């Protein structure tokens, strides 16, 4: 089976850095995704990791350690518009394509 854990909620100040951790236990692994979801909207793609290490994309970075079943999403120079839920998802399953999502981490950015 699949089990994805991430914190429920985090609060940070505008301009600060926040790190969202995700741990996973899966029967198959074909990569890990991070999505951003604003309330009432569709998830939008942020990052993908399949190899160990750090992937940087502007203000967002994502790290993966496959041996530890661990990933984090780092958000730098926080802006008010970054207030959203951040979803960790592992790709796998029998056909290798389905995404198993964690419950999401709601990030609240305060002025």
Partner 1 sequence: NAGVMQNPRHLVRRRGQEARLRCSPMKGHSHVYWYRQLPEEGLKFMVYLQKENIIDESGMPKERFSAEFPKEGPSILRIQQVVRGDSAAYFCASSPRSTSGSRFSYNEQFFGPGTRLTVL
Give the position of tokens 């203000």.
59
DSSP 81: G
Q: Cβ 4 to partner 1, closest distance in Å? A: 8
Q: Cβ 43 to partner 1, closest distance in Å? A: 5
Which stretch of DSSP H or E encloses residue 14? none
Q: In what order do the strands lie in the sheet with 18-25?
A: 3-5, 18-25, 70-75, 60-65, 53-57
51 vs 111, beta carbon nearer partner 1 = 51
The reply to whether 69 sits near partner 1 by the rule CB under 8 A is no
Can you tell me which of 31, 66, 74, 76 binds partner 1, judged by CB under 8 A?
31
> Of 109, 106, 98, whose CA–CA distance to 36 is shortest?
106
- Contact residues for partner 1 (CB under 8 A)? 30-31, 33, 35, 41-45, 48, 50-51, 87, 89, 91, 93-104
């Amino acid at each position: 089976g699949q089990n994805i854990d991430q914190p429920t909620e985090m609060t940070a100040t505008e301009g600060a850095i926040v790190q969202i951790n995700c741990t996973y236990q899966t029967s198959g692994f074909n990569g890990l995704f991070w999505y951003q979801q604003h309330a009432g909207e569709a998830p939008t793609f942020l990052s993908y990791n399949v190899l160990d290490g750090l992937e940087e994309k502007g203000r967002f970075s994502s790290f993966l350690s496959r041996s530890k079943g661990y990933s984090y999403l780092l958000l730098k120079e926080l802006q008010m518009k970054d207030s959203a839920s951040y979803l960790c998802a592992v790709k796998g399953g029998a056909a290798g394509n389905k995404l198993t999502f964690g419950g999401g981490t709601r990030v609240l950015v305060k002025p």
